[in-house]
Amino acid sequence: MVHVRSSLAGLRSYVPGRKVPGAAVLASNESPYGLLPGVAARLAELAGGLARYPDMGAGRLVDALAAHHGVAAGRIAVGAGSSEVCAQLLHTVVDPGSEVVFGWRSFEAYPILTAVAGGVAVRVPLRDHAQDLPAMAAAVTGRTRLIFVCNPNNPTSTAVGARALRDFADRVPEHVLIVVDEAYREYADPAADALDLLGDRPNVAVVRTFSKAYALAGLRVGYCVGPADVIAQARKTQIPFSVTALAQEAAVAALLDRAEVARRCALTVAERERVTRELRALGHDLPSSQANFVWLPLGRDSDAFAAHCLGEGVVVRAFPGEGVRVTIGLPEENSAFLALAEAWASAPT
Ligand code: PMP
């Protein structure tokens, strides 16, 4: 029998949201609006070139991102989704047994990617559904190599503000890489943009994705902007050609469709506020969301609530014993969900 790493024995696989044909899928924080028009047109042109390998350095995409953010191309690493970019950053700094700090609960890939990189996860409990940055800074030891700050936080939807983020970065020693995961940046308060606030620090990398606001979750492309020396090392850890030719070109086209992205994000934010208001009116005590989803802290009722929704054709994501995450979809999908939440609230217990 092949010897398998012992650290995999206790590791649970990532659990994706369910896909149920015909249902309103509000479980995976995707865009409900379909491909951006410019992306669809560009993809149709590219089929003929797919027999060849893609540009390994993703030059056109890296240049487009550098222009988009006003930084040097050498400060950008790309990957097959921001999940792969997070893995690259871990593989850049983690030695066997290094500690990786993150708030918990947060993005479920962090503990998996940390373990696979040979690191030890250090989970710092959230406080009022938000990341406790002072406690995270206090958790740093001589073995800490990386801290994930998921902002806004998945699945609890809250974001830490500019002041808290800056104070935190001031407290963390420079040998520790701070990775601000901004997968949901486009839906959040612009004042806490980590690139604006911390982009010039020698130990800060900001991770972004094309999977959410840019509606490209199925093509897998993400990136980070970080210090040039870190990025040069991170690029070595990328699986060769992991960002496909279609993904590279779709992402370039998506960056050009900025007005449409902004329009869609504004719709999602308006819907998020409506959903939040109506859920609060039903008596739910949910935190204010800065993302494209809301968090219902239903505790023991989480599974039953999700099953109630699924039974009526709406897929939401339960975190058993904690809460339910509901992606903001199309207005009619959100209304269907709200009707189910209302039926739940008025059902005899
Ligand atoms: N970071 C966060 C906080 C996320 O919620 C997700 C997706 N759920 C990702 C990263 C990864 O997204 P992708 O790999 O599709 O870019």
Listed by start position, the domains of the chain span 6-33+259-346, 37-256
Q: Are 88 and 140 in contact (CB under 8 A)?
A: no
Q: Which ranges in the chain belong to alpha helices (H)?
A: 37-46, 59-69, 81-93, 109-116, 133-138, 162-171, 194-198, 228-236, 245-256, 258-281, 302-311, 331-346
pLDDT for 306 equals 97
Q: Which two tokens stand for residue 196?
A: 């604006």
6-33+259-346 and 37-256 agree in CATH topology? no
Q: Of 172, 233, 183, which Cα lies nearest the Cα of 206?
A: 183
pLDDT for 7 equals 80
Distances (CA, A) of 186 to 161, 176, 262, 263: 15, 26, 8, 11
Strand bridging mode 222-225 / 293-296: unpaired
Of 154, 180, 220, 223, the one to substitute when testing ligand 1's pocket (max ligand atoms within 8 A of C-beta) is 154
Q: Are 336 and 309 in contact (CB under 8 A)?
A: no
pLDDT in tens, 89-148: 999 999 999 999 999 999 999 999 999 999 999 999 999 999 999 999 999 999 999 999
Give the residue-averaged pLDDT of 319-326: 97
Give the residue-averaged pLDDT of 274-299: 97
Cα–ligand 1 centroid distance for 3 (angstroms): 31
pLDDT for 135 equals 98
DSSP 136-180: HHHT--TTEEEEEEESSPTTT-----HHHHHHHHHHS-TTSEEEE
E strand or H helix at 213: none
pLDDT band of 348, cuts 50, 70, 90: low
Q: Are 153 and 106 in contact (CB under 8 A)?
A: yes
Q: Considering Cα of 61, then 64, then 66, then 69, what sign does the dihedral take? A: negative
pLDDT in tens, 59-89: 999 999 999 999 999 999 999 999 999 999 9
Residues with CB under 6 A from ligand 1: 29, 81-83, 107, 150, 154, 181, 183, 209, 211, 217, 222
The topology (CATH level 3) of 6-33+259-346 is: Aspartate Aminotransferase, domain 1 (3.90.1150)
**Which CATH architecture best describes the domain 37-256?**
3-Layer(aba) Sandwich (3.40)
Residues 32 and 36: their CA atoms lie apart, in Å, by 11
Q: Are 171 and 125 in contact (CB under 8 A)?
A: no
Q: What is the mean pLDDT of the chain?
A: 96
pLDDT for 115 equals 96
pLDDT for 349 equals 59
Res. 6: pLDDT tops 90: no
pLDDT band of 12, cuts 50, 70, 90: confident
pTM of the model: 0.96
Cα–ligand 1 centroid distance for 152 (angstroms): 11
Lowest mean pLDDT among 47-56, 188-197, 239-248: 47-56
pLDDT for 114 equals 97
Residues 269 and 213: their CA atoms lie apart, in Å, by 11
Lowest mean pLDDT among 42-56, 97-111, 142-156, 225-239: 42-56
Lowest mean pLDDT among 256-270, 295-309, 335-349: 335-349
pLDDT band of 18, cuts 50, 70, 90: confident
Of 25, 104, 156, 181, the one to substitute when testing ligand 1's pocket (max ligand atoms within 8 A of C-beta) is 181
Nearest-atom number in ligand 1 for the CA of 106 is 3
pLDDT band of 270, cuts 50, 70, 90: very high
**Ligand 1 atom 1: residue of nearest CA:** 183
Residues 279 and 160: their CA atoms lie apart, in Å, by 23
pLDDT for 106 equals 98
